[in-house]
Structure 1
Amino acid sequence: MLSITKIFTFEAAHRISDHDGACSQLHGHSYSLHVTVSGDDLKKDMLLDFKDLKKIVQEEVIEVFDHALLLKESEKNLIDFEKIGQKIFWMPYEPTAERILLWMKDRIAPQLPSHVKLEGLTLYETATCYARWKD
Structure 2
Amino acid sequence: MAKIRLTKEFRFEMAHALWNYDGLCKNIHGHSYILQVTVIGEPCSDENNPKYGMVMDFGDLKKIVKEEVVEPMDHSIVVSEKADAEKLLGVPQMTERYHITPYQPTCENLLVDFSERISSKLPEGISLFSLKLHETGNSFAEWYASDNA
Structure 1 gaps of 5+ residues are: none
Q: Report 1:95-110 matches (<5 A).
A: 95-110=105-120
Q: Is the 8 A contact 2:43 2:56 kept in 1?
A: no
Matched to 1:124, the amino acid is: H
CA contact (8 A) 2:19 2:83 kept: no
Number of residues of Structure 1 aligned to a counterpart in Structure 2: 135
SS at structure 2 position matched to 1:74: coil
Equivalent residues in 2 for 1:11-90, closer than 5 Å: 11-42=13-44, 43-85=51-93, 86=95, 87-90=97-100
Counterpart residue number, 2:104: 94
* Matched residue, 2:48: none
Per-residue deviation, 1:88: 0.6
d(CA) in 2 for partners of 1:59, 1:80: 27
Runs of 4+ in 1 over 6 A off after TM superposition: none
AA of the residue aligned to 1:13: A
Cα offset for 1:120? 0.3
What is the TM-score when the length of structure 2 is the normalising length?
0.86
Structure 2 unmatched runs, 5+: 45-50
What TM-score, normalized to structure 1? 0.94
Bigger Rg over Cα: 2
1:108 aligned partner, one-letter code: I
**Residue by residue, what CA displacement relative to the aligned partner does 1:81-117 show, whole Å, maximum 9, x if unpaired?**
2443411111011100011000001110011111100
2:133 to 94, 99, 123: 123
- For the 8 Å contact 1:18–1:94, the answer to whether it is kept is no
